[in-house]
Amino acid sequence: MSHALDEIKIGGLGASRKRVEDNRFIRGKGNYTDDITLPGMLHMEILRSPLAHARIKSIDASKAWDIPGVHLVLTGEMMATRNLAWMPTLSYDTQAVLATDKVRFQGQEVACVIADDPYIAKDACEAIDVDYEPLPVIVNPRQAVAEDAPVIRDDKDSQRDNVIYDWEVGDKAGTDRAFEQADVISKLQLHYPRSHPSPIECCGSIADFNRATSKLTVYMTTQAPHIIRAAVALVAELPEHMIRIISPDIGGGFGNKVPVYPGYVCSILASILLERPVKWIEDKSGNLISTGFARDVYLDGEMALRRDGKILGVRIHTDADHGAFFSDAQPSKFKIGLMHSAFAAYDIPAAHLTARGTYSNKAPGGVAYRCSFRVTEAMFFQERMIQAAADDLGMDQAEFRRMNFVRDEDFPHRTPFGFLTDSGQYAKCLDVGLKAIGYEEFRREQAEARAKGRLLGLGISTMTEPLGAGNSREYDILGIKMFDSAELKVHMTGKAIVRTGARGQGQGHETTWAQIVSHELGIPADDVVVEEGDTDTAPFGMGTYASRSTPVAGAAVAMVSRKIRAKARKLAAHLLEVSEEDVEWELGRFYVRSAPDRGVTIQECAMAAYSNMPDGMEPGLENTAYYDPPNLTWPFAVYIVTVEVDPETGVWDVLKMVAVDDCGVRINPMIVEGQIMGGLTEAYAMANMQFITFDADGNCVGSNYMDYLLPSAWETPGFELHSEVVTPCPHHPIGAKGIGECAAVGGPAAFVNAVLDALSGTGVRNIDMPLLPDRVWEAITYRRDVSGAPPVRSDD
Amino acid sequence: MTIVYEDHEGETTDVPVRRIRFTVNGEKKIAEVEPRLLLAHLIRRGLGLTGTHMGCDTTNCGACTVLVDGRPVKSCTMLAVQADGHEISTVEGLATASELHPLQEGFKEEHGLQCGFCTPGMMMAAKALLDENPDPSEEDVRWALSGNLCRCTGYQNIVKSVLWAAAKLRAESGS
């Protein structure tokens, strides 16, 4: 008779366990960076540039110094004396910490004030007098490469124009041949607008340098504390073991809290100079206009098609507007992230991608906003292109996809750009989605409605995406390989603590990592505590972004648990007085193969590790695992939306949205569904209202929540989620794939395809996101494509 | 309480202050505040009640929502001096020593939060709704929370959380 524990009851794999972290958050007892107060703490505020491009003629801070309560005013000139006016970026460029020569975007950091109180610091910022000489402004790649364009980065000796890189990947010759053989060539151009991850909590830090111990402790809003520690060690030339980065509770990240920002650097320098803790908490405008944006890519592509619907090849060109500094947070090897993951779900023989990056007078960033490094743009273009191609061929949207999908038996599948997709059941997922939306019936309704002048539309988006960088062969950031880690300590009473190199921001790591331990060791999840975010205690890891926590750190938790189980097996053999080969494992317990009733629990093994180990065995039951994934994980998703567009106003409403996500084994189904609904909402936001743009003078439109629209509970539609298709990841220890971002990546195309489907027959091929009522109205009324590229149109 | 000022010779360091009296979570308080001090800062820094968060500084996100005399108010755009004579409730006052408020239970039960940053404001806005309307529809809840932004959840579970709490409160009151 089995004595194995009921895995769901102990909170193991597959349990919709209620979240542990909620206990503090629902009581208002979270511990976010701004909640921390240290003795003697001072406050820092930043003065930002009102202009997008201007030479700094002079800075007079004397009035600021005179304000009682002001301790320090930092300017670029002072930073330069310590070689800190500029810092390296994660993409081998440099970025100004505080401006010295010029300001290059609106909102750029010019000076900062450290004072007794944040109100005083703000007063003092306003007392700083900066004399600017305005310069011509660039807000898009077309302007950037114009002949008479001013050179934005004249600080760099080798930079003669505004081009950052020209890059290509794929098979040019093979793709050219595919286009020669094509019956039909389908084309599409679009702009994926600049967006901002905009977590509700802004960025901030508290730097605390202690002269007596020479130790620098920094509490900061970072998704990747170990990367920050390395960066501080290298930039500030402080010894790494004297730097402690603590990432307390984070009020949302979505990629915004990966980079190193000037505010962090200034607070650190100020604390070193003043020998007091210095707190910097950004305001919302500062967050929106200066910190890591996302997207802002112009995509231009074409698809070679056979008359029967077979895709023969794809060409894509991307023009990415990186802002004033190339500071994309992405694997170093790839200039435009994983853009070349586009079309991975389809069996396409040849593909070629060219990419150009340019500077502009806009904020730097290029972060992976709920996205695995530009995968969002890739999948959006892919699904818009697929819809356009199906329309050009006169084929059904669903059938065109189905006939070009990579088939279940063809995995692992090498994509034309060289990725190896691992597994999936694409057609089955599509079937589930079509059934759920009532595909055939909706098409009938749509035709009937059209006859009465009502515009209904249905949009499909199907995609697989690469989640969980790296493997170390291909993925590194500034040379640091993208593995991750977990440390597990089992105490003598069988309770345990797990630490990982990841850092959750709402994903529920404190709940799910314990479930993995529970699955591997049979220790009830409630007996396992999870800690992350402190570089003095957590093992080295690359942090949480790009859906890499479960694929990499989560795998490390499973692997370290297995190391613990291997040692526990030896302890069990010792306790049971049999040889190790005669010991069998079932959840929570070792037993003698020939006498299953004779067994010891994992808790008894833990006690023995401290009180009764065999001769020669090292005491204790602790270990660490570093996990270097063999491949990325490839979840698959089908998102289908139906909409009604009001032809008189251009307003569109979601009638129904269905999501079918196959992300392999789900550790905690409740949390997975929460991630999907959150992602769908961001997808809806991007399709409907959320974007940042600029006028011709480089003024940021979208610098606060009055202009940067985020959907509330009122606008956000309901979602119907489907989880019936499960394809375990073949190379992940527990079969899981990434999921945090799928919906935000694949979702936008479903909404846009639905609206354009509603406009079918008008000749409108593209409306740039967001599909604001005026843009949709313009498309309907004038039967033309509508561009959303900056500068924004003025009324005069 | 002692306040120490830096002594800048020849300059006045006197900051104008006003004395206010108010109630927070049932406790009577007196504070001396600068007239320009925001209520959110009085709550967070002055009273140390850091459960009230600040997100946008412009009355849009609702993370700083508290109740003033039972009505939801975004405390980042109310001056502390305006709280003189009023009753303030924050997230810290929701639970008793032994028992969570049904809204708190509901948010955990229905996975109504992820990063937790918007949660206190959401719960306070929801409390104001349930105090007035014990049996709200989904639409009522969505409308009542439309001044509070969440970037993690997509709201669906937040709505469920509030409806869960409403049902429990009704069951408790026997209605």
DSSP H or E segment with residue A686 = helix A669-688
Task: Give whole-number Cα distances, A332 to A367, A371, A476, A482, A610, in Å.
Answer: 13, 16, 6, 11, 45
Q: Where are any strands of DSSP class E within A39-125? A: 42-48, 54-60, 70-75, 86-88, 94-96, 102-103, 109-115
Tokens of A212: 């007596």
pLDDT above 70 (res B13): no
Is A223 an annotated catalytic residue? yes
Record: contact B57-A18, CB cut-off 8 A: no
Least confident of A309-313, A364-368, A521-525: A364-368
Q: How confident is the model at residue B11 (pLDDT cuts 50, 70, 90)?
A: low
pLDDT band at residue A477, thresholds of 50, 70 and 90? confident
Q: Quote the pLDDT of residue A330.
A: 87
Which residue type occupies B129? L
Name which of B7, B56, B118 to mutate to probe chain A: the one with the most chain A Cβ atoms within 10 A of its Cβ. Answer: B56
A283/B63 Cβ within 8 A? no
State the CB neighbour count (10 A cutoff) for residue A221: 27
Instruction: Provide the b/e sequence for A420-444 (b: ≥16 CB within 10 Å).
Output: bbbbbbbbbbbbbbbebbbbeebee
The pLDDT mean for chain A works out to 97
Cβ separation A506–B53 shorter than 8 A? no
ipTM score = 0.97
- pLDDT number for residue A575: 98
Asked whether the predicted pLDDT for residue A249 surpasses 70, the reply is: yes
Rounded mean pLDDT, A232-258: 94
Q: Across the interface, which of B8, B91, B158 has its CB nearest the CB of A28?
A: B91
Of the candidates B17, B36, B66, B10, the residue with the CA atom closest to the CA atom of residue A118: B36
Q: Mark whether A330 is an active-site residue.
A: no
Alpha helices in A311-464 (DSSP H): 375-393, 397-404, 426-437, 439-451
Q: Å from A53 to nearest chain B CA?
A: 26
Residues of A in contact with B107 (CB under 8 A): 22, 26
Residues from chain A contacting residue B154 (CB–CB below 8 Å):
677-681, 716, 719
For residue A58, give how far its alpha carbon lies from the nearest alpha carbon of chain B (Å): 28
Phi, psi (deg, nearest 5) at residue A651: -75, 140
Q: Within 13 A of A690's CA, how many CA atoms are on the CB side?
A: 24
Residue in A200, A656, A673 to test binding to B, most B beta-carbons within 10 Å: A200
- Put simply, the answer to whether A29 touches B51 (Cβ < 8 Å) is yes
Identify the DSSP state of A617: P
When CB atoms are compared, the residue of B53, B111, B145 closest to A674 is B111
- Give yes or no: A382 in active site: no
Convert the pLDDT of each residue in B40-77 to its tens digit: 999 999 999 999 999 999 999 999 999 999 999 999 99
Domains annotated on chain A, with CATH: 22-30+484-627 (3.30.365.10), 33-135+216-250+257-287 (3.90.1170.50), 294-469+631-782 (3.30.365.10)
Residue A46 to chain B, least CA–CA distance (Å): 16
Q: Which of A370, A384, A503, A548 is catalytic?
A: A370
User: In the predicted model, is pLDDT for residue A476 greater than 60?
Assistant: yes
Min mean pLDDT across A9-18, A328-337, A530-539 is at: A328-337
Share of chain A above pLDDT 90, in %: 95
Q: Distance, in angstroms, between A26 CA and closest chain B CA?
A: 5
Residue in A125, A203, A371, A663 annotated catalytic: A371
First-to-last alpha carbon distance for chain B, in angstroms, is 48
Looking at residue A1, its pLDDT comes to 59
Is residue A766 scored above 60 in pLDDT? yes
Q: Please state the rounded mean pLDDT for residues A435-442.
A: 98
Please give the pLDDT value at position A599. 98
Question: Domain B18-93 - what CATH class?
Answer: alpha beta
Closest listed residue to residue A367, CA positions, set A129, A234, A196, A163: A196
pLDDT at A796 over 70: no
Tokens of A664: 């392999």
Please answer yes or no on whether B116 and A284 come within 8 Å at the CB atom: no
Per-residue model confidence (pLDDT) at position A237: 80
Residue B1 has a pLDDT of 40
* Nearest Cα to Cα of residue A512 among A24, A27, A31, A21: A21
Domain positions in chain B are 18-93, 102-173
Residue A201 with chain B: CB contacts under 8 Å: 53, 55, 115, 117
Which CATH number applies to B102-173: 1.10.150.120, 1.10.10.520, 3.30.499.10, 3.30.70.260?
1.10.150.120
Note whether B115 contacts A249, CB cutoff 8 Å: yes
Mark whether A520 is an active-site residue. no
Answering whether pTM is above 0.90, one says yes
Q: Please tell me whether the peptide bond between A730 and the residue prior to it is cis, using omega within 30 degrees of 0.
A: no
Contact A490, A564 (CB under 8 A): yes
Q: What is the pLDDT confidence band of residue B174, given thresholds at 50, 70 and 90?
A: confident
Q: Is the pLDDT of residue B10 over 60?
A: no
pLDDT digits (tens, 9 = 90+) for A584-612: 999 999 999 999 999 999 999 999 999 99
Q: Do B146 and A199 touch (CB under 8 A)?
A: no
| Separation between Cα atoms, residue A21 and residue A11, nearest integer Å | 15
Chain A residues with beta carbon closer than 8 angstroms to that of B148: 712-713
Dump pLDDT digits (tens) for A145-181. Answer: 999 999 999 999 999 999 999 999 999 999 999 999 9
| B102-173 has the same fold as B18-93 | no
Supply the DSSP string of A578-600, one letter for each residue: S-GGGEEEETTEEEETTEEEEEE
